[in-house]
Amino acid sequence: METYVEKLNKVTFSVHHSPNCASPFQVRLIGKSEDRLDNILDNSKTKDILGFGSSFEEAAQAAWRKKFGNN
């Protein structure tokens, strides 16, 4: 079965890691209004999809499910 991290190879994404946070991994997927990532704190302009987690896989899963559902 394909992991969510492996699924990210099919789309444009960025990942951020902040070890001092409760959910240290953030995965950002392209939003509906732009065809590029806008790595700013306020994602209201691009509608980028953000997923957070305690691991890269967990954050990837959260972002993927927000954008694509349970596919």
pLDDT in tens, 43-62: 556 678 899 999 999 999 99
In angstroms, the Cα distances linking 54 to 2, 33, 36, 39 are 20, 28, 26, 20
How many Å apart are CA 20 and CA 66, to the nearest integer? 25
Q: Taking Cα atoms as reference points, which of 49, 51, 46 lies closest to residue 5?
A: 51
CATH placement of domain 4-33+45-68? 3.30.160
Q: According to the model, what pLDDT value does residue 44 have?
A: 59
Q: What confidence tens digit (pLDDT) does each residue in 1-35 have?
A: 899 999 999 998 899 999 999 999 999 998 766 56
| String of DSSP letters for 6-47 | HHGGGS-EEEEE-TTSSS-EEEEE--SS-SS---SS-TTTTT
